[in-house]
Amino acid sequence: QVQLKQSGPGLVKPSQTLSLTCAISGDSVSSDSTIWNWVRQSPSRGLEWLGRTYYRSKWFYDYAPSVRSRITVNPDTSRNQFSLQLNSVTPEDTAIYYCARGKMATGFDYWGQGSLVTVSS
Amino acid sequence: QSALTQPPSASGSPGQSVTISCTGTSSDVGGYNYVSWYQQHPGKAPKLMISEVNKRPSGVPDRFSGSKSGNAASLTVSGLQAEDEADYYCSSYAGGNNLVFGGGTKLTVL
């Protein structure tokens, strides 16, 4: 059974960097048949796909245009996890952040428990 | 503003059927057979209920079904049960690295 467990701070100051980690069990971040994503949810923006990483003989990274200049998604093969870094945050980045497994075309079949991140001084 | 349009609410009595719509454009819903539906209970992560317009992942009751016509997709829940009360979201692949979601529909079981 695949499980995704998220960790990271729940409060980030404006202009600083939001960092979250998603630990994977029951699957491998290096699997060549799946994709690892970050999605956020807020009352103002609804559900929003942020970015993904996946391995197909080499690592690939894709990001949503809305955050492309500020986001990094990185795999950590030694710990079988992947991370989200979002730079220069503002209160607009306050949201519940989820990691999720799956492809855009076929849907996200496993989700982390969610992490409420508040951007406030 | 969400890219896909869903009604904010829907309701039905136990045992009845309810259909939730999801309207997009020819660039997303109408352009691909890649519509997914998610169920979300309060305080929980979304759960995939339908993928690729009408495919049910393992473990999803066959009371849940999906369809698409043109730029609109639909989720039908038949034989409503109390545990079906939740928020439902549609999503559609929109080409390239684009994925769009609907604004969500709150389903109430009366």
C-alpha span between A111 and A70 (Å, rounded): 23
In one letter, which amino acid is A25? S
Cβ distance of A47 and B45 shorter than 8 Å: no
- Rounded to whole angstroms, the Cα distance separating B11 from A109 reads 26
Q: Does B51 contact A at CB distance below 8 Å?
A: yes
Region B5-18 average pLDDT:
97
Contact: B97, A63; criterion CB under 8 Å: yes
For residue B21, the tally of other CB atoms under 10 A from its CB is: 16
Give the burial string for A94-121 (b: 16+ CB within 10 Å, else e): bbbbbbbbbbbebbbbbbbbbbebebee
CB contact under 8 A, B45 and A98: yes
Nearest by CB to A62, from B38, B97, B104: name it: B97
CB atoms within 10 A of CB B31: 15
pLDDT digits (tens, 9 = 90+) for A5-22: 999 999 999 999 999 999
**Locus of tokens 């997914």:** B36
Who among A104, A105, A111 is closest to B46 (CB)?
A111
For chain A (length 121 residues), average pLDDT per consecutive 10?
96 98 98 97 95 97 96 97 98 98 96 98 95
Q: Reply yes or no on whether the pLDDT at B1 is more than 70.
A: no
Nearest CA in chain B to A4: B45
How high is the pLDDT of residue B3? Answer: 86
CB nearest to B45's CB, from A62, A63, A112:
A112
Residue B2: what pLDDT? 59
pLDDT mean over B49-74: 97
Mean pLDDT along residues B7-26: 97
B34–A105 C-beta distance less than 8 A = yes
CA distance B93 to chain A (A): 6
- Which residues in chain B have Cβ-Cβ distances shorter than 8 Å to A109? 48, 51, 57
Probe site for chain B from A50, A99, A104 (most B CB atoms < 10 A): A104
Do B80 and B14 contact (CB within 8 A), yes or no? Answer: yes
CB distance B32–A105 less than 8 Å? yes
Q: Max CA-CA distance within chain A?
A: 42
